Amino acid sequence: MDIDSYRKWWDYTAAYADMIRATDTEDSPWWVIDSNDKKRARINAITHLLDSIPYEHVKFEKPKLGKRQNQPKGLDDALPFRNVVPDVVATMTAAAPKAPAEQP
């Protein structure tokens, strides 16, 4: 930040507030994210974005898959992935209700 912008902090803040007031509409609203804690801000932004997408569980008829082959001896269940995204939801104290499981 340069010295002139520091000195004009409130002028810039007033112009910013005017811009928000002039451009925040029902069709195109501004959303503000408190970003003092960057990790929390990112989680809140992602959660807000996902919550804004309508989701309905789609019923479907499960296909008949038949019998799966037996697991070969010596092949471990744990595959050798280097990079696995941590399950953050599992660590949250107030996780959202789980969607119905769709496993084979």
Q: Select the more confidently predicted residue: 104 or 86.
A: 86
34-54: average pLDDT:
92
Question: What are the tens digits of pLDDT across the range 71-98?
Answer: 888 887 777 777 777 777 777 755 455 5
| Three-state secondary-structure class, residue 85 | coil
Name residue, tokens 């990079």. Answer: 83
Give the per-residue pLDDT at 71. 85
In sign, the C-alpha dihedral spanning 17, 23, 27, 30 is negative
pLDDT of residue 48: 93
Q: Compute the average pLDDT of residues 30-49.
A: 92
DSSP 71: P
How much is the average pLDDT of 39-44? 92
Count other Cβ atoms within 10 Å, centred on residue 92.
10
